[in-house]
Structure 1
């Protein structure tokens, strides 16, 4: 099993820091642009990556990230293109944990064993299937571990004890704990409350470190997540909104970045501030 997550969390604990993990859609708006955006986020301080593979029906995502799926698909990006991008990222950042967020239809279509093997060979460390709950996840988890991939499961905000126990037992690398109910990037994203209760509820069942996601859009949210006992935080919609501001072209026309320098400047400022917020007093 890969050890990049374990090493990251150990190194950050020694420095008294949490992890900041940006979510970025592969191929949005083009593969070349996405790679430049990813490089910028890493160089600005991202501790790990969560990367999306474009899908036509992203049910766990709100409108902002849905647009990123659509832009990439309109540009003709395929799963094979995404795998190629992962190879490039892994070659440039050999020690960086790379997590994938991919909808369940992709492994169904490609064949579960083949799917995990392909992503492992490309350099991915983990795969989260947001539309596959842990109660249905055993075949995926087994195939993932056989391919040397960490299976990641979501701990919902209002989960039963049975669900949380299953998430803790089946997740490797980290647990994705949801800060509140709903989809990503909704109007409620600025109201993140009760994080300590969320974290403690998941921690009762053991398992790997907890990263909080959904609605994490400001340094205060990251600070609160770390203070609540999470190992770090994942932010997606806020970063996707930055990209969205600098992309022109609407469905069905492929989008393009209008000013990459301006996009990178804004992204660097955001990622730097979010990373700084992981540093404990």
Structure 2
């Protein structure tokens, strides 16, 4: 049983070159809360570093069909921000290693609320970080200030190959949880070029601008992909669509937890053999 303290914890504390760290994405509400608790217990036992937990929202322009279908299932269950914050409290009380970063869409979940109050409530739930999806540029400064005042670390996003130097600098400046470097522009889970082959240039660029950890996502679904991200110098790999697909397959097989456990076994890099003693 984890601590009742809800102080945010470093998502990727320290940096150990060559050691892969992993953040996994799921929509809250898909699977249901009881199954989610069991899945996150599995993550914690497997030493998965971070769960990027999305408050579901409709019609995402950045997500492919697998993640969008998951969001629809979650919304059909009535999943909203208050319910997700209650879930975060449960997850925080049952984990010791896995950190929880909340992804919240501006238009669907935050715009109808008092922003300062929502930031305080997210912080109070025990979330270790916040990523605001679709935040209007004019509100970025205020949102960052509110999160700093509340002691809520933030994730900032930029895109390999397409973001401007100004965007890279802003992400590096404002990130207090980590910088999420999107490996390629497009929808999650859809075919694209091998961006991981060239992503090191953007990782190095961010290293010059910030001490915040750098996590790379999009197009990552296997243990080999995770190793390639680590080899590119990033602190962590973010796995999204493959996680959601494991849940979807489990729903079809009537064994969501078992399906996700099998997925974790395939995903987590095999432990390296110990070096012989001299």
Q: TM-score range by the shorter chain?
A: 0.7 to 0.9
Counterparts of 1:87 and 1:137 in 2: how far apart (Å)? 26
Q: Give the counterpart of 1:167 among 167, 171, 190.
A: 171
Determine if contact 2:63/2:187 at 8 Å carries over to the other structure: yes
Give the structure 1 partner of residue 85 of structure 2.
Answer: 83
Give the structure 1 partner of residue 261 of structure 2.
Answer: 265
C-alpha root-mean-square deviation of aligned residues, in Å?
2.4
Counterparts of 2:96 and 2:46 in 1: how far apart (Å)? 17
1:22-33 aligned at under 5 Å gives the runs 22-33=24-35
Determine if contact 2:49/2:97 at 8 Å carries over to the other structure: no
Q: Identify unmatched segments of 5+ residues in structure 2.
A: 1-5, 273-278
Determine if contact 2:101/2:130 at 8 Å carries over to the other structure: yes
1:21 Cα deviation (Å)? 1.0
Determine if contact 1:135/1:163 at 8 Å carries over to the other structure: no
Shifted more, 135-144 versus 155-164: the winner is 135-144
Give the structure 2 partner of residue 253 of structure 1.
Answer: none
Give the structure 2 partner of residue 237 of structure 1.
Answer: 241
Give the structure 1 partner of residue 112 of structure 2.
Answer: 109
Counterparts of 1:168 and 1:54 in 2: how far apart (Å)? 27
- Residue aligned with 2:135, SS: coil
Give the structure 2 partner of residue 176 of structure 1.
Answer: 180
1:276 Cα deviation (Å)? 5.0
Give the structure 2 partner of residue 45 of structure 1.
Answer: 47
TM-score by length of 1: 0.86
CA separation of 1:94 and 1:220: change in aligned 2, threshold 3 A: closer
1:176 Cα deviation (Å)? 0.4
Matched, 1:58 2:53: no
Give the structure 2 partner of residue 252 of structure 1.
Answer: none
Counterparts of 2:48 and 2:193 in 1: how far apart (Å)? 21
1:261 Cα deviation (Å)? 5.2
Counterparts of 1:189 and 1:104 in 2: how far apart (Å)? 29
Shifted more, 233-242 versus 45-54: the winner is 45-54
Give the structure 2 partner of residue 4 of structure 1.
Answer: 9
1:240-255 aligned at under 5 Å gives the runs 240-248=244-252
Shifted more, 73-82 versus 134-143: the winner is 134-143
Determine if contact 2:53/2:100 at 8 Å carries over to the other structure: yes
Counterparts of 1:141 and 1:154 in 2: how far apart (Å)? 13
Q: Identify unmatched segments of 5+ residues in structure 1.
A: 249-256
Deviations 1:7-33 (A, max 9, x none): x432x62x8523111112111031222
